[in-house]
């Protein structure tokens, strides 16, 4: 987590992953997702640690933490990377690299190619 005091990780079995938080100082672990989360290819937090995104063969999902509602925002998706402000996700789709605005799931094609993991870079002066 961005505070450096906790670690967010997948817990449980392959067919029933959940989200858990571990306290770095005391080693305590607690499950924070009420049910299985659809992780397949990628799993990433926003910079502020308030939202997590997942990709699998059925799409891209976002969930606010802790215990937020899970939303499916696309029907497919592979790699992902959050924008620094947490309002967009770069996602590799079969048709190329796309930016998806989280508020309304607006999809904008960035490139027809996706060879590897793409990442946002903060605006340089």
Q: What is the pLDDT of residues 13-39, one digit of tens each?
A: 766 777 788 999 999 998 877 667 766
Give the CATH number for residue 107. 2.40.10
| pTM of this structure | 0.75
Q: How many domains does the chain have?
A: 1
Q: Do 49 and 65 contact (CB within 8 A), yes or no?
A: yes
| Domain presence at residue 65 | yes
Q: Is 60 exceeded by the pLDDT of residue 124?
A: no
Is the pLDDT higher at 51 or at 77? 51
| Domain presence at residue 91 | yes
Q: Do 58 and 74 contact (CB within 8 A), yes or no?
A: no
| Domain presence at residue 103 | yes
Q: Residue 116: what pLDDT?
A: 60
| Domain presence at residue 6 | no
Mean pLDDT computed over 69-77 = 82
| Domain presence at residue 19 | no
Q: Residue 88: what pLDDT?
A: 93
Q: Residue 49 and residue 5: Cα distance in Å, rounded?
A: 12
| Domain presence at residue 52 | yes
Q: Residue 55 and residue 59: Cα distance in Å, rounded?
A: 6
């Amino acid at each position: 987590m961005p505070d450096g005091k906790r670690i967010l990780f997948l817990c449980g079995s392959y067919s029933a992953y959940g989200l858990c938080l571990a306290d770095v100082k005391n080693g305590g672990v607690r499950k924070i997702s009420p049910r299985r989360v659809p992780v397949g290819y990628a799993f990433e937090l926003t910079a502020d640690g308030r939202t997590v995104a997942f990709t699998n063969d059925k799409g891209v999902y976002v969930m606010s933490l802790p215990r937020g509602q899970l939303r499916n925002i696309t029907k497919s998706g592979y790699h992902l990377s959050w924008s620094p402000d947490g309002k967009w996700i770069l996602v590799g789709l079969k048709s190329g690299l796309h930016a998806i605005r989280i508020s309304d799931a607006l999809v904008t094609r960035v490139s027809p190619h996706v060879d590897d993991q793409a990442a946002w870079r903060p605006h340089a002066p």
